[in-house]
Amino acid sequence: MLELPAAIRIYFLILSTVLGASIGSFVNCAADRYVANQSVWKGRSHCPSCGHTLSILDLFPILSYIFLRGKCRYCGEHIPIRCLITELLGGVVFLMYAYVYGFSLITLEMMILMAILLAVALIDYDTMEIPDGLLQFGVIVFLLFLPAHGDYAARLEDGALGALIYGGGMLILSLIMDLVLKKESLGGGDIKMLIMLGLFTGVFKGLLNILLACVIGLLMALGRSKKDEEGFPFGPALAFAAMATLLVGSQIIDWYLEIIF
């Protein structure tokens, strides 16, 4: 981590927040297009209800939503609150990672991973599917940034073990549940996602990640209406849990160990 003078550090944190909100905005739009089977990269941003191309004034994350009072400037249709939530989440998460990891390659690695997790959460929530491409991209990011970590051999070993334990564990659990319930219980996407996340969390933080994901998943399931009986996506819970675990997982584990010993 590079030590920055105070003023530049504050500038870096502000820039990270704006970047996070913009990435949140982009990921939300890209996820919508992916779900609607449209090209993610082609075409300019437009209002989903009237189709009007958006101007630069409509595209400021968070601020545009507030100044337009959540409505399209051209047709008056409500902009989904989800846009504002992903922008806020992106801004806050990037700010916190920039604060904890400072001006470093690890911050960059985490920011890319956070964008992937945000996309996974949104797409899984809408479609109950996690695109393989996003998870493969996560694995590539893990490998590419290995040299940025001090003891990268240890990180690789811990990551591989985490992927094996949590991905493999989930696979065995799902096979047992399939046998008992006589239907497919856990999605293949969840298992692959745990393999990818296991790389980043390693063994100890991986356990915390699963516990947190279960708590978040339970809360989300309680908040969801009764009519969604066909199942519940676990990807968003895993994604949000990983955002917290990779940020403050070590501190939570230390604090917990201090309490019991």
Q: Which residues bind Zn ion (CB under 5 A)?
A: 47, 49-50, 72, 74-75, 77
Are residues 125 and 232 in contact, defined by beta-carbon separation less than 8 angstroms?
no
Q: What's the N-to-C CA distance of the chain in angstroms?
A: 32
Q: Nearest CA to 65 among 78, 84, 48, 46? A: 84
Q: What's the DSSP call for residue 189?
A: H
Count of beta carbons in the 10 Å neighbourhood of residue 65: 21
In angstroms, give the least distance from the CB of 18 to Zn ion. Answer: 25
In the complex with Zn ion, the residue whose CB is nearer, 75 or 140, is 75
Give the residue with the Cβ less far from Zn ion, 47 or 186. Answer: 47
Cα-trace Rg, the chain: 20
List strand residue ranges (DSSP E) for the chain, in order. none
Return the number of the residue (47 or 253) whose C-beta is nearest Zn ion. Answer: 47
By C-alpha distance, which of 3, 212, 241 is closest to 104?
A: 3
Compute the least distance from the CB of residue 136 to Zn ion, in Å.
35
Nearest by Cα to 129 from 237, 241, 233, 242: 233
In angstroms, give the least distance from the CB of 77 to Zn ion.
5
Shortest reach from residue 89's CB to Zn ion, in Å? 24
Residues 104/2, Cβ–Cβ less than 8 Å: yes
Least separation in angstroms between CB 52 and Zn ion: 5
Residue 251 to residue 244: CA distance in whole angstroms: 11
68 or 214: whose CB is closer to Zn ion?
68
Cβ-based nearer residue to Zn ion, 78 or 224: 78
**What CA–CA distance (Å, rounded) separates 199 from 162?**
6
Q: Which is nearer to Zn ion, 58 or 124 (CB)?
A: 58
Cβ atoms of 217 and 237 within 8 Å: the answer is yes
Closest contact distance (angstroms) between CB of 53 and Zn ion is 10
**Complex with Zn ion: residue 75 or 154, whichever CB lies closer:** 75
Nearest-approach distance from CB 106 to Zn ion, in angstroms: 40
Question: Which one, of 237, 244, 179, lies nearest residue 213 by Cα?
Answer: 237
User: Tokens 């959460």 identify what position?
Assistant: 121
